[in-house]
Structure 1
Amino acid sequence: MSTFSLYFNLGLTHILDILGYDHILFVVVLCALYMLRDWRKVLILITAFTIGHSITLALATLNIIQVNVALIEFLIPVTIFITAVSNILRGQRSSSPQKVQLNYAYALFFGLIHGMGFSNYLRSLLGKEEDITVPLLAFNLGLELGQVIIVAIVLVTASVFVSILSVARRDWKLVISSAVAGIALTLMMGAKFW
């Protein structure tokens, strides 16, 4: 197996691992406002998130920045909680250009925090590799594909509930965002940062 394939598969399985559900929750709550017809917007949103975490993942893996692991493990559920509460407070008209651009900014900024959370994992995998360019790129592409899979599941599920089962879009957004906010709050309270 090539280095690229190895790290691509590691990134893919890392994001889809149910034990790392905090990242899955963040992707789910990012998608809670959207339907299947909005897939382009969501892919841009997820890519903004990937760019954010790719930057800090690279910086932390190269030891350019040092992170307090306990603080990051607390901040990750904070980003999930803020996104969920923002969804809950947002009105029905969530597709205005300013709000869509704000979503991209949130995704990019929160991606920076999530990337720091991945850095210890990736640094332990890379060990003493001389050139981390290919492994880092492959790992991030694997993460991106994993996120796209999660997005596809969420958007199809949303479309089934809203379009076929006639659940109000507002109710879908509130139920998903409230459930994720509750889980994020539990994760925040259980963080060792306190």
Structure 2
Amino acid sequence: MSDFNLYFTLGREHIANITALDHILFIAALCTRYQFADWKKILILVTAFTIGHSITLALSVLNVVHFSARWIEFLIPVTILITAISNFFVKKFVFKAKFPVIYFFALFFGLIHGLGFSNYLKSLLGKDQNIIWQLFAFNCGLEVGQLIIVLIILVIAFIMVQIFSVNRRDYLLFLSAVIIALSLEMCLQRMPFHF
């Protein structure tokens, strides 16, 4: 069981770490429109993202798919940018659809982020038959780390909106604008082509 704990901890620390700023920004862009009452929607979003990156992470680590690391590192901030821009189109904080489009975005963008995790994980995984168990433990750790980040985001939003009386939409737009600026800078730094 110590193998599970090791890879679980690696997964949690990989995502809940300031060096994983791009993944933290994506989770923030994805979840900042929600509040504590929306916990079921948030859990579905984060799980859809985890499923997406688990699929490509496994396929890449098992050498089923191959990709250009430069392009993936560029596409990750693009996913952040698109998600943050989508927050500007939230008119009401009532989500009537049973399965909003954002769940598909979380799943699809998770596929891209999973490819980004794979280079990191390939260097850590053993070459034995426990690779599936190690992947599972790593993904469980990622999920827990993401939920910790979501909890922090929700607490900050609660403090800003409920205690400091910041307008909820203004808070969403401000945070999204900051995320857009940071993700644009990342896009420029990671551009895989030159003009």
Same fold (TM over 0.5): yes
Please state how far the C-alpha of 1:127 moved relative to its aligned partner.
3.9
The answer as to whether partners of 1:36 and 1:158 remain within 8 angstroms in 2 is no
Runs of 4+ aligned residues of structure 1 deviating over 6 Å after TM superposition are none
Distance (whole Å) between structure 2 residues aligned to residue 92 and residue 161 of structure 1: 18
- Measured after TM superposition, the shift of residue 192 of structure 1 is 4.3
Which amino acid letter does the alignment assign opposite residue 91 of structure 2?
G
Check the 8 A contact 2:50/2:143 in 1, yes or no: yes
State the shift of 1:69 in Å: 0.1
Structure 1 contact 48–108 (Cα < 8 Å) conserved: yes
Tell me the residue number matched to 1:42.
42
The CA deviation at 1:89 is 2.5
Q: Distance in 2 between matches of 1:89 and 1:67?
A: 32
- Matched with 2:86 is 86
> Matched residue of 2:123: which SS?
helix
Amino acid of the structure 2 residue aligned with 1:2: S
Matched, 1:69 2:69: yes
The answer to whether structure 1 residue 142 and structure 2 residue 137 are counterparts is no
Offset of residue 160 of structure 1 = 1.3
1:103 is aligned to 102
- Per the alignment, residue 171 of structure 1 pairs with 170
Give SS of 1:125's match.
coil
Aligned residues: 193
The alpha-carbon deviation at position 131 of structure 1 amounts to 2.9
Cα distance in 1 for residues equivalent to 2:138 and 2:82: 27
- Aligned residue number for residue 57 of structure 2: 57
Q: Within 5 Å, give how 1:20-39 maps onto structure 2.
A: 20-39=20-39
Inter-partner Cα distance in structure 2 for 1:125 and 1:18: 20
* Offset at residue 95 of structure 1 (A): 1.5
- SS of match in other structure, 1:91: coil
- Percent identity, aligned pairs only, is 53
Contact 1:29 1:177 in 2 (8 A): yes
Q: Are 2:16 and 2:24, in contact at CA under 8 Å, matched by a contact in 1?
A: yes
Deviates more, 1:126-135 or 1:65-74: 126-135
Query: Cα RMSD over matched residues?
Result: 1.3
> Aligned-pair distance for 1:142?
0.2
Structure 1 segments unaligned to the other structure (5+ residues): none
